[in-house]
Copies of this chain bind each other. A is one copy, B any other.
Amino acid sequence: MIRSSMAKRALILDEFLPYRLSFTSNLVSEAVAGAYMALFDLRIPEWRVIAVAAEHDGISQQEIGLATRMDKVTVSRAAIALTARGLLLKRPHPGDKRSHRLSLSAAGRALYAQVAPKALELEERIFAALPEGELDAFVATLRKIDAVVLRWDEDALTAPTAPAD
């Protein structure tokens, strides 16, 4: 099960995959977050809530949390900030008074109409250097990794490997 080139490999941080992944993700996140903030005064969680609300009108906060894997607290704060800015509407959920149905206000839709193309442009600029096939393969790999790690969330992660000492 251990592939030959990987067996007994020395640990070098620079070649350690979780590290490389975190490294790149941080770089990209900082760039993107900075742009959103500078251009639209939106934090990442707020931007995500807007995007999801635009895609699924009337979605609940819990559903946003599930979809984006953001903590419900994070979603709550983003939703509060956005409604305070008049970008998001919280309407009562028919049949459940604890919940609301979120949708973009006219101002929210207007903002989204500006943000979305800018986001795609940003993405394009970052990944334009990569041939298309490489990009697709990259995303496919990301999703495979997701699947592996998500499957662990049920198991205890550390249990099967007793501390070596």
Contacts and interface: CB of A to CB of B under 8 A. Distances in A.
Interface of A: 1-3, 5-6, 9, 11-29, 31-32, 34-35, 38-39, 44, 48, 51-52, 55, 67-69, 114, 116-124, 126-130, 132, 134-135, 137-139, 141-150, 152, 157-158, 161, 163-165
A120 B11 contact: yes
A122 B17 CA distance: 10
A22 B28 contact: yes
Contact of A21 (B16, B122, B142, B150): B142
A48 B114 contact: no
A126 B134 CA distance: 21
Given A23-B146, A149-B126, A138 B139 contact: no
| Number of copies of chain A assembled together | 2
A25 B27 contact: no
B139 A39 contact: no
Contacts of A146: 23-24, 27
A78 to B, nearest CB: 13
Given A51-B13, A114-B163, A158 B38 contact: yes
B9 A128 contact: no
Contact of A1 (B13, B29, B128): B128
Given A18-B29, A126-B18, A127-B145, A51 B11 contact: yes
